[in-house]
Structure 1
Amino acid sequence: MSDDFMKAVGLDRPESGDDTVLPFAVETLDVRGRSVRLGPALDVILRRHNYPAPVARVLGEAIVLASLIGSSLKFEGRFILQTQTDGPVNLIVVDLQTPNGIRGYARFDEEALSKAAEKGELAPEQLLGKGTMAMTIDQGEHTSRYQGIVALDGSGLEAVAHNYFQQSEQIPTMVRLAVAEMQNKGDVQPKWRAGGVLVQHLPEHGGRTMPDLPGDGDHQNPETADGDFEEENGWVEAKALTETIDDLELVEPDLSSERLLFRLFHEQGVRVFEPMDMVEKCGCDADKIELMLGQFSQEDIQSMIKDGEIEVTCEFCSTQYFFNPNMFGINEE
């Protein structure tokens, strides 16, 4: 690493690599944000279900977006991003268990996907179609869930995120997402990679601070409470620079988040903070599933029995669990 690069980003540690979220700030532009790079963790999630490539890309974008937003939470709990739409990919669920455990699942209609492929309509926004995206904050027992809902109107997740933060939070926000299947020398098969950058305009004296929770309402500037926002010069510049990021820069294995941010903001001065590791993690276990099954009626339990057992497969990680019906008061003869 060059001295200029290390000095510019205030780096006194090795550069962050894959499966990390890197917070940063550009004080001269009143901008803060996060950059995420996902490699092995994402590949595990997408390979596990053997999704068709177009479906994997849509789910990958949702995982990156959830990582960018959910990684800012400062409590033990969950951030859940969910889409329900009329497109070929009609359901996506991404569950981030704070501080850094991520999992994701997509449901799609094979016939609708085939028709979309015939028409050449495989862009993520076309596969999602119209519907809603919900972002849920769950801090556990004895707390109320917060849920913010935004319409999916045929736009991609980047545009939806922009609209959500502008309308619900009064925080001008720019998001870039990219997902790609890449094969490097020595790889037996291609691997999924993804990256993203979230940039927010948070002037020190503008009534805004870095949000702890999406939608908690503390970050609204009274001067722009009607939803209007007169763009300041710093934000105009930051947004223009962020728009120059191309997809390859976000997924390139040899380009760290630090170096990407240096490319973007070296003239303005960018400061990076400690990165956070992201790990593929599913929260399912036999005890939780047993508790869930115990809430069903005897009739429902009876209908689940196959070959003398109750089989439950986790939609996220595909782990199979088997239970004896006797555990739920059912005696099979």
Structure 2
Amino acid sequence: MTDNMMTALGLDRPETGDDAVVPFTLDQLDTRGRAVRFGDALDTILSRHDYPALVARLLGEAVALAALIGSSLKFEGRFILQTQTDGPVNLIVVDFDAPDGLRGYARFDQDALVAAAEAGRTTPGELLGKGHLAMTIDQGEHTERYQGIVALDGNSLEEVAHTYFVQSEQIPTMVRLTVAEFTRKGDERPHWRAGGVLIQHLPDHGESVVRDLPGDGDLDNSDKEEADSWTQAKALLATLEDVELADPDLSPERLLFRLYHETGVRVFPPLPMVERCTCSADRIEDMLATSFTDADRDEMAVDGEIEVVCEFCSTAYHFSPHHFSIKH
């Protein structure tokens, strides 16, 4: 990156690599945003279960979206993104453990997935089908959970995110997501990568731009300038190609400069993201002890032990149904 580019970005550090979220602002456009780039962390999540490519891409988009949203929360706790639908990919769960941990899981109907592929119904919206997407914020045992729900009706995750923020937060939002496979030199196995950008319009006076767009009533000059700034921010993001979002040779800083150098963009230090499962033997043992009776645990046992396999990381835990002694 040239000195002029670094100055324009306010960058006095090395460019960001994979597995990180980069916050940024577009001050002239009254817009803030975050860019995410995933490499090894996402590849670990997707490769662990050997998902079909269509499922892996959809789960990868959900992981990128959860990182973009969860990384903005200023607390210790969890952000959970979950879809439940009637499509071939009928369940997706992504768990963001603040400030940096991510894990994800997808459930799908193999026969329905094959039928959809043969019929050419492979867009994210068609794979998800109808149902809902829930976003849950959990700040711990002594606080109430907050949950926002938006309908899924043949929509992509990008489209649903737009709807969620306008309806639940009254913040105009635009999201771009992509997932791709890249082959490294000297490595025969392709590796999963993902990229995403989220922008939100936040004018200083806090008024919503949605109701003031042309066609929705009379505008004075200041409102027109505000609406035009959001329109420009979205139009520039729309020029971004999928290959740019996931390109391992294009840092988030270079990507943002390419998009917004004419209006100005200011980036902030990156927020590292890691693949991390929060399962543990102690948690599972506590769940077995408090949620099930002795009779229930006896029924769960096979050959004298209870096996519990984490759906996220596939770790298998083994317990005695009577003494709860853990067998490693």
Fold shared per TM-score above 0.5: yes
Shorter-normalised TM-score: what interval? Answer: over 0.9
Q: Distance in 2 between matches of 1:51 and 1:308?
A: 32
In the other structure, the counterpart of 2:151 is 151
Report matched runs for 1:186-225 at 5 Å.
186-205=186-205, 207=206, 221=207
Residue of structure 2 equivalent to 1:48: 48
Identify the residue that residue 86 of structure 1 maps to in structure 2.
86
SS of 2:127's partner is helix
Deviation at 1:228, TM superposition (A): 2.6
Q: How many residues align?
A: 312
2:311 corresponds, among 312, 315, 325, to 315
Q: Alignment partner for residue 299 of structure 2, among 298, 303, 307?
A: 303
What does residue 139 of structure 2 align with?
Answer: 139
- For 1:328 and 1:278, locate their aligned partners in 2 and report how far apart those are by CA, in whole Å: 34
- For 1:32 and 1:137, locate their aligned partners in 2 and report how far apart those are by CA, in whole Å: 21
Letter in 2 for 1:93: V
3-state SS, counterpart of residue 228 of structure 1: helix
Tell me which residue corresponds to 2:220.
Answer: none
Q: Does residue 228 of structure 1 match 2:223?
A: no
Aligned alpha-carbon RMSD (Å): 1.3
Quote the residue 1:271 is aligned against. 266
C-alpha deviation, 1:326, in angstroms: 2.2
**Whole-Å separation in 2 of the counterparts to 1:167 and 1:117:** 33
Give the SS at the match of 1:79. strand
Residue 32 of structure 1 aligns to a residue in which SS? strand
Secondary structure of 1:232's partner? Answer: helix
1:1-333 map, 5 Å: 1-205=1-205, 207=206, 221=207, 228-230=211-213, 232-294=227-289, 295-327=291-323
TM-score (norm 1): 0.91
Normalising by structure 2, we get a TM-score of 0.93
95-104 vs 164-173, which deviates more?
164-173
**CA–CA distance in 2 between the matches of 1:259 and 1:39?**
17
Task: For residue 303 of structure 1, report the CA deviation from its aligned partner.
Answer: 1.4
**Counterpart-to-counterpart distance in 1, 2:257 and 2:81:** 30
Uncovered stretches (5+) of structure 1, i.e. residues with no partner: 208-220
Secondary structure class of the residue paired with 1:299: helix
Amino acid at match of 1:19: D
Aligned pair in 2 of structure 1 residues 193, 254: CA closer, same or farther (>3 Å)?
same
Q: Following superposition, which runs of at least 4 residues in structure 1 exceed 4 angstroms of deviation?
A: none
AA aligned to 2:196 is: G
C-alpha separation in 2, matches of 1:147 and 1:114: 33
Identity percentage of aligned residues: 67
1:216 paired residue number? none
1:118 deviates by 1.3
Find the aligned partners of 1:286 and 1:56 in 2 and give their Cα distance: 28
For 1:161 and 1:24, locate their aligned partners in 2 and report how far apart those are by CA, in whole Å: 19
CA offsets 1:88-118 (integer angstroms, 9 cap, x no match): 0000000000001000000001111111111
Once residues 68 and 296 of structure 2 are traced to their aligned partners in structure 1, the CA distance between those partners, rounded to angstroms, is 40
Give distance in 2, aligned partners of 1:184 and 1:5.
28
What SS class does the counterpart of residue 150 from structure 2 fall into? strand
| Partner secondary structure for residue 43 of structure 1 | helix
Tell me how far 1:9 sits from its aligned partner.
0.5
Alpha-carbon shift at residue 328 of structure 1 (Å)? 5.3
The offset of 1:39, in angstroms, is: 0.4
Q: Secondary structure at the match of 2:122?
A: coil
